[in-house]
Each structure stands twice: as structure tokens, then as C-alpha cells.
Amino acid sequence: MYDAGKIIPGLIVFVGLMLFAIYYNVGNKIEDPKPEKPVGYTSCVLPLEEIRAEHMVLLNEWRDEVIREGKREKVEAGGKMYEKSLQNGCMHCHTSQEKFCDQCHKYASVNPYCWDCHVTPEYGKALGEAN
């Protein structure tokens, strides 16, 4: 009635496959991202820990204020004025999408849609040289 001869080997294979999946990467350390720091700039719109954790919220708020509400006034932080803009604000200091943005986004497996509309300074410069 019971097929112990098939169930027990099947369970052993199943447990073996599950343990393999768990222990396959034990001991492999994933390198932390090392984004390129902006040259000549020491501060940002928010403190470092806040901007790391909340930059996507800030960019969404700026997008809504500028595009939907027409509020284009600059933001003051640390005695400097910043435009509410990815290209003219953030990318003014962080000039390389590949060396800055992509470092953390690949690490976190995040695919932001910023680049569907925006052009990075590097790409814009290359387009200008091609024309």
C-alpha cells in the first residue's frame, strides 16, 4: 500500500536539492558598492544616511512639485542652492550614472525608470560630439 521504496529516496533527493540551494553560496562575500564620490563637493541636499535611504522619495517629491504643481524654486541645503532636478541638481555633482547610480542600483537589484526620460551628462556630451 505504501511505496516507501519510492517516497524515502524522493525525500532524500528533495532535501539534498534544498540543502544544495542553501549552502551553495555559503562563504561567498558580495562586495559592497563603492560609488564614485563627487569631486569638489562635501555636502548634499540631505545628510548622507538620509539621502542613501530616501533619495527615491525625494526625487519623486521633486518630480511631483516641478512637473505637476509648477513649483520650480530652488532648495537650500548647507548654505548652497540646489535645483529640483535630476539632471541639473543631482547630476551636476554626480556626473556619471555608471560610476555612481548604477553601483548601488545593481547591488540592490533595482531598476529605476529615471533613465527612460532623463539623459546623463556623459551621454548628452557624447550626443553633442556626434552632431
Per-residue model confidence (pLDDT) at position 14: 94
CA separation for the pair 110, 127 (Å, rounded): 26
Chain mean position to CA 74: 24
Task: Please indicate whether residue 105 or residue 27 has the higher confidence score (pLDDT).
Answer: 105
Is there a contact between 85 and 93 (Cβ–Cβ < 8 Å)?
no
Domain ranges of the chain: 48-121
Per-residue model confidence (pLDDT) at position 124: 55
| Average of per-residue pLDDT across 116-126 | 70
pLDDT tens digits, 16-67: 999 998 888 787 778 888 898 888 888 888 898 999 999 999 999 999 999 8
Please tell me whether the overall predicted TM-score, pTM, comes out greater than 0.85 for this model. no
Residue 15: band (very low, low, confident or very high) from pLDDT cuts 50, 70, 90: very high
Is there a contact between 66 and 72 (Cβ–Cβ < 8 Å)?
yes
- CB within 8 Å of 103: residues ≥ 6 apart: 33, 34, 35, 36
